[in-house]
Amino acid sequence: MSGSTSLSNLPLSNAERVDVRRFLGYPAYGTGNTGSQSWRFFQAYGTLEYRMTNFAPEEFQVVRQYLASLYSLESAAVGASGNLDTEQAASWTHNQSEVQDRLALFDQWRRRLAAFIGVPLDPGLGLVSAIVI
């Protein structure tokens, strides 16, 4: 049984849609489909918007599971900054690559969400995605 079955299978809220865009590196949507920055002018962005609107109920649950993981990983990476000023305290020694390791894990989960949805990560993030549309 999937771990996502306890999550809502209703359409994504506007806040959840904003977070999906943000995690995948897409620009802010704004208040509507106007202007030259509209998603209508970018195939991948249009695909993302279409899919977020038309997921099957079970797919909404899976996306919410990804979002829950990404929220946690993002917070952990930000929280790791609290140890940057301490190399060693008593028997505790700081992991020099903690922030990089946490960000790499966070980026891996962003790539997994992009693969599940079937859209590339935004090239501006500097991350490589093997998805071709």
Every domain of the chain and the residues it spans: 14-80+93-125
Lowest mean pLDDT among 33-37, 42-46, 47-51, 127-131: 127-131
* Band of pLDDT at residue 21, cut at 50, 70 and 90: very high
The mean of the pLDDT values for the chain is 80
Query: 60-116, pLDDT tens digit by residue?
Result: 999 999 999 999 999 888 766 655 555 655 555 656 677 888 889 999 999 999 999
Could you give the 3-state DSSP secondary structure of residue 69? helix
Helix/strand number for the chain, H first, E second:
4, 2
